[in-house]
């Protein structure tokens, strides 16, 4: 089943378009995962603590959200032990029935890109239980660096999200360069790349990462990519509010067309002053309820 | 000791600027590493065969070249087992006294980029024996995605090579966009980023990846980045010859200023018709001799 259709079915089933980012940042982990920070412990033990944390987050959110987005960098910090922890997290999310979007931002040429696509999307390479439903990719190297991922989307009913306009302040440095701005040129190509991978829901398996922090640009990106599922980072911790995202969604009766990511806003909600009396899981759960409620008016 | 100085010392010691890429592409491995392709074998065993191959390449070339460049994607194909194999290869190259440039092309924002920098460059995270001397990074996300790598260069005497103009045909899609062309805008920033990290040799630890396939652009890139060490992919298998690279090097009495990568041209030289009678190691060794001889007139 086409990735866009699977994602849409998951969004429909859960009734919201919330994506929980799993970014087990060492310095921000709750005290009970302190062992991850303990440089005196074996690396495998520290990595296991990261996976424990992420798996507990999955337990907290799995019944309410359609998808999670583990961030590879925080696992890779512990080398092969970290990647083993990553595999455990991906497997746990899949077992919980969640769509897994691997935030890996890979990009390379030809057969090297094909190797990355296999690494994350091919059940025969990664192992069926560790495979992601979709990954994020970086377009800087051009169309021939994207093509192998499109082939993987076809072969494995997977998805990709191409970085178009990222949520960080520095994204303007290069993504706004030129006329049209580079990000808009990339957007046009994303629309073209997705043409062959449109599912029954009308959306493609080729998605775009567009920062929720660029509210005024969302409409033009949506116009340039009418069949593209958007992944919107930057909600919550990075400052974007729900009302600003309305242009990213498709109007009814089309399906929603976008998923909104919050990472630290959910997983590290226990650090918020007003949640000071709550344990970290309850804080995460409350923060997720808030996010679902806040997004309800704009989703559909 | 500053990365640029270490690299230059290694280039001086070996008397050439050849960089051997370790790209253990499954489909191209010699028959004796057949087990890597055998889908019936455990993943760990297949991954170990990749590492065996790469380590044998290291044995063949270590006495003649200053540096090697393992390509992460081909290891990641086997998940955490593949990353364990990667670690063994990095450790073997370091033990052989080689500079190790991890071809990982990572790029992400803020604390996520910092996590990638730690993963590959911080001995306390990666493990001292697995750490790379330098990594390749992707600039699409902007300056704030590069800053954490610059901090790592300072903290760990490491280096980075920013993708400026890659060697693939599709690189023109986005890297040539705008006026000035995006790659030239990136080049200016690479020059600025490197200012704080200039070593005694006059070169910076902040390098640039500039495809050897773009011979006519090398001079203007060199002018824009006079203190930047270049990593030139695309020699050999991708079609560039030595004479075309002269503009990438700095004129005497300055140090060389560039290293030239060949991956398949060396490691898979046994597939060349004229080497059909040779075992794969002898073929690799001969191909390396050819490369060193061919580059001798342009290096310095």
Beta-carbon separation of A39 and B189 below 8 A: no
Helix (H, G, I), strand (E, B) or coil at B47: helix
Q: Provide, as residue numbers in chain B, all residues whose Cβ is less than 8 Å from the Cβ of A102.
A: none
pLDDT of residue B127: 84
Active site residue A105: yes
Contact status, residue A222 vs residue A254, Cβ threshold 8 Å: no
- Token digits of residue A154: 């076809």
The answer, yes or no, to whether the previous bond of B206 is cis (omega within 30 of 0) is no
Q: In angstroms, how far apart are the furthest CA atoms of chain A?
A: 56
Q: CA B262 from chain center: how many Å?
A: 9
Contact A211, A171 (CB under 8 A): yes
Hey, which CATH number is domain B3-295, 3.20.20.70, 3.50.50.60, 3.40.50.150, 1.10.645.10?
3.20.20.70
Residue A255 has pLDDT above 70, yes or no: no
Average of per-residue pLDDT across A200-208: 96
Please answer whether residues A190 and A183 qualify as being in contact, where contact means their C-beta atoms are separated by less than 8 angstroms: no
Q: What's the maximum distance between 2 C-alpha atoms anywhere in chain B?
A: 56
Gap between the Cα atoms of A43 and B126, Å rounded: 9
- Cβ atoms of residues A88 and A78 within 8 Å: no
Q: Does B127 touch chain A (CB under 8 A)?
A: yes
| Residues B115-147: tens digit of each pLDDT | 999 999 999 887 889 999 999 999 999 999 999
Distance CA A86, CA A104 (A): 11
A72 CA to centre of own chain: 11
CA distances from residue B226 to B36, B140, B245, B295 in whole angstroms, order as listed: 43, 22, 15, 21
Does the beta carbon of A169 lie under 8 angstroms from any beta carbon of chain B? yes
The predicted-structure confidence for B31-85, as pLDDT tens digits, reads as follows 999 999 999 999 999 999 999 999 999 999 999 999 999 999 999 999 999 999 9
What is the average per-residue pLDDT within A28-34?
96
**Which residues, numbered 10 to 39 in chain B, qualify as contacts with chain A under a Cβ-Cβ cut-off of 8 Å?**
23, 25, 39
pLDDT of A215 over the 90 cut: no
Q: What is the mean pLDDT of residues A7-21?
A: 95
pLDDT for A18 equals 96
Q: Which of A49, A44, A168 minimizes the C-alpha distance to A105? A: A168
CA distance A206 to A157: 11
pLDDT at B231: 97
Q: Which residue has the tokens 């746990």?
A: A92
Q: Does A183 touch chain B (CB under 8 A)?
A: no
Q: What is the pLDDT of residue B103?
A: 98
The pLDDT tens digits of the residues spanning A127-165 come to 889 999 999 999 999 999 999 999 999 999 999 999 999
B237 at interface of A, judged by CB pairs closer than 8 A: no
B95 contacts chain A (CB < 8 A):
no
The pLDDT, as a whole number, for residue A238 is 65
Distance from C-alpha of A221 to C-alpha of A165, rounded to nearest angstrom: 9
Q: Which residues contact A180 (CB under 8 A, 6 or more apart)?
A: none
Burial class (CB in 10 A: 0-12, 13-18, 19+), B294: middle
From the list A19, A6, A14, A2, the residue with the least C-alpha distance to A248 is A19
Least confident range of A39-43, A47-51, A187-191, A235-239: A235-239
Predicted pLDDT at A253? 52
Tokens standing for B63? Answer: 């006495």
Taking the C-alpha atoms of residue A8 and residue A208, their distance in angstroms, rounded to an integer, is 15
Q: Which positions in chain A touch B44 (Cβ < 8 Å)?
A: none
What is the pLDDT, as a whole number, of residue A297?
A: 84
CA–CA gap between residue B56 and residue B52 (Å, rounded): 6
- Peptide bond before residue A253 is cis, with ω within 30 degrees of 0: yes
Determine the average pLDDT of the residues in A247-254.
75
Residue-range domain boundaries for chain B: 3-295
Q: Look at residue A5 and tell me whether its pLDDT is greater than 70.
A: yes
* CA angle in degrees (0–180, nearest 5) for A56-A58-A64: 130
Regarding beta strands A230-232 and B67-70, do their DSSP bridges make them parallel or antiparallel, or are they unpaired? unpaired
On the CB side of B230, CA atoms within 13 Å amount to 33
Measured from the Cβ of residue B32, the count of other Cβ atoms closer than 10 Å reads 12
A249-261 burial, b at 16+ Cβ within 10 Å, e below that, comes to bbeeeebbbbbbb
Average pLDDT of every residue of chain A: 94
d(CA A115, CA A104): 13
Task: Please identify every stretch of chain B with a pLDDT value under 70, giving residue numbers as ranges.
Answer: 237-239, 252-255, 299-300
B168 vs A82, A124, A144: nearest CB: A144
Residue in B28, B29, B120, B142 to test binding to A, most A beta-carbons within 10 Å: B142
Q: Which two three-digit tokens encode residue A295?
A: 């997004």
Residue A180 has pLDDT above 60, yes or no: yes
Tell if the CB–CB gap between B142 and A170 is shorter than 8 Å.
Answer: yes
> What pLDDT is stored for residue B300 in this prediction?
56
| Residues A83-99: tens digit of each pLDDT | 999 999 999 999 999 99
Partner residues linked to A22 by β-bridges: A70
CB of A174 closer than 8 Å to CB of B146: no
CB contact residues (below 8 A), chain B span 97-116, against chain A:
105-113, 115-116
Mutate to test the interface with A, among B110, B119, B140 (most CBs of A within 10 A): B140
| pTM of full prediction above 0.80 | yes
């Amino acid at each position: 089943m086409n990735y866009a259709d699977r994602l849409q079915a998951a969004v429909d089933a859960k009734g919201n378009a919330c994506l929980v980012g799993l970014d087990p940042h060492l310095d921000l982990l709750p005290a009970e995962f302190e062992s991850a920070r303990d440089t005196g412990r074996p690396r495998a033990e520290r990595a296991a603590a990261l996976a424990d944390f992420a798996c507990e987050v999955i337990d907290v959110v799995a019944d309410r959200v359609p998808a999670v987005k583990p961030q590879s960098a925080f696992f890779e910090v512990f080398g092969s032990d970290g990647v083993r922890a990553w595999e455990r997290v991906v497997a746990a999310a899949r077992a919980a029935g969640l769509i897994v979007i691997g935030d890996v931002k890979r990009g390379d040429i030809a057969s090297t890109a094909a190797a990355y696509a296999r690494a994350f999307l091919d059940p025969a390479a990664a192992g069926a239980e560790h495979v992601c439903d979709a990954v994020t990719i970086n377009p800087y190297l051009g169309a021939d660096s994207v093509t192998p991922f499109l082939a993987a989307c076809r072969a494995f009913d997977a998805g990709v999200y191409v970085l178009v306009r990222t949520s960080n302040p520095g994204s303007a440095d290069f993504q706004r360069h030129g006329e049209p701005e580079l990000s808009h040129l990339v957007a046009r190509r994303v629309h073209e790349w997705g043409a062959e991978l449109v599912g029954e829901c009308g959306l493609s398996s080729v998605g775009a990462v567009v920062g929720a922090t660029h509210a005024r640009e969302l409409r033009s990106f949506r116009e340039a990519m009418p069949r593209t599922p958007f992944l919107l980072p930057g909600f919550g911790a990075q400052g974007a509010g729900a009302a600003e995202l309305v242009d990213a969604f498709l109007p009814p009766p089309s399906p929603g067309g976008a998923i909104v990511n919050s990472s630290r806003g959910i997983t590290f909600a226990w650090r918020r002053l007003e949640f000071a009396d709550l344990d970290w899981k309850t804080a995460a759960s409350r923060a997720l309820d808030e996010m679902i409620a806040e997004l309800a008016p704009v989703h559909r």
